[in-house]
Amino acid sequence: MALETWLAFFVACWVISLSPGAGAVASMSAGMQYGFWRGYWNALGLQLGLALQIAIVAAGVGAILATSALAFSLIKWFGVGYLVFLAYKQWVALPSDLDTGAAERPIGRPLTLVLRGFLVNFSNPKAIVFMLAVLPQFINPHAPLVAQYLVMGVTMIVVDLIVMAGYTGLASRVLRLLRTPRQQRVMNRSFAALFAAAAGLLATVKRAAV
């Protein structure tokens, strides 16, 4: 991959990652609930989902998703249902007693957070179709394809890890300001509303006409 092509793709990755979406909401929610170091496991799960999406596009399977209404709908409604589930979990989350120290905060199992992040990213068929449309624009068909997809995959994941670290860290700092149960309840329900909004947006997504 030529340097100028990679630089253009690098800039595009920042624009894509910084755009608010379900992944950013999930990262902020995890940071707020568990703090930065524990909540960041969610971001690792997001990257596993992203890596699998890139692999699907590289393998050409993304073309099937782009042309199959059934496959698109199945993944889309799974994603909608999962985001609604996260909204419910956030809505009923109990406030933590922050005055007694970090030991009273929700623990959050790393594998659970990784799986949560993975499902948030992977259950968005629009992202796969989007990458199917965008990634080939940076591909040189006369050069080895696997190496190019690897370079782009690593670039996207590294950029997204940095961006999600920012979202998680910002939310974890907000956690320190939420001293009362009422404040925490308002914040939990605000994130529940964001998850529900993300579910609503995903529900409106339609497969592009072919």
Is the pLDDT assigned to residue 34 strictly greater than 90?
A: no
* pLDDT (0 to 100) of residue 115: 92
To the nearest 10°, report the CA torsion of 59, 19, 164, 10: 60
How far apart CA 196 and CA 80 sit, in angstroms, is 9
Of these ranges, 1-5, 146-150, 198-202, the one predicted with the greatest mean pLDDT is: 146-150
Evaluate whether residue 51 is within a structural domain: yes
Reduce the DSSP state of residue 13 to 3 states and report it: helix
Evaluate whether residue 176 is within a structural domain: yes
- For residue 159, what are the contacts with CB-CB under 8 A and spacing of at least 6? 10, 13, 14, 17
Evaluate whether 153 touches 54 at the Cβ level (below 8 Å): yes
Is the pLDDT assigned to residue 72 strictly greater than 90?
A: no
Position 165 confidence tier, pLDDT thresholds 50, 70, 90: very high
pTM of the predicted protein model? 0.71
Evaluate whether residue 29 is within a structural domain: yes
Evaluate whether residue 3 is within a structural domain: no
Evaluate whether residue 67 is within a structural domain: yes
Percent with pLDDT over 90 in the chain: 17
DSSP state of 140: -
- Residue in this structure with the two tokens 């889309």, named with its chain if needed: 76
Q: What angle do CA 191, 195, 196 make, to 5 degrees?
A: 115
**Range in 18-32, 67-81, 92-106, 131-145 the model is least confident about:** 92-106
Range of the domain at 59: 24-204
How far apart CA 17 and CA 15 sit, in angstroms, is 6
Structural domain tally of the chain? 1
Average pLDDT rounded to a whole number, residues 2-8? 84
Position 149 confidence tier, pLDDT thresholds 50, 70, 90: confident
Tokens of 192: 């529940």
Evaluate whether residue 16 is within a structural domain: no
Evaluate whether residue 4 is within a structural domain: no
Evaluate whether residue 196 is within a structural domain: yes
How far apart CA 161 and CA 41 sit, in angstroms, is 11
Is the pLDDT assigned to residue 53 strictly greater than 70?
A: yes
* pLDDT (0 to 100) of residue 61: 63
How far apart CA 42 and CA 50 sit, in angstroms, is 13
Report the sign of the C-alpha dihedral through residues 55, 209, 15, 4, in that order: positive
Average pLDDT rounded to a whole number, residues 90-99? 65
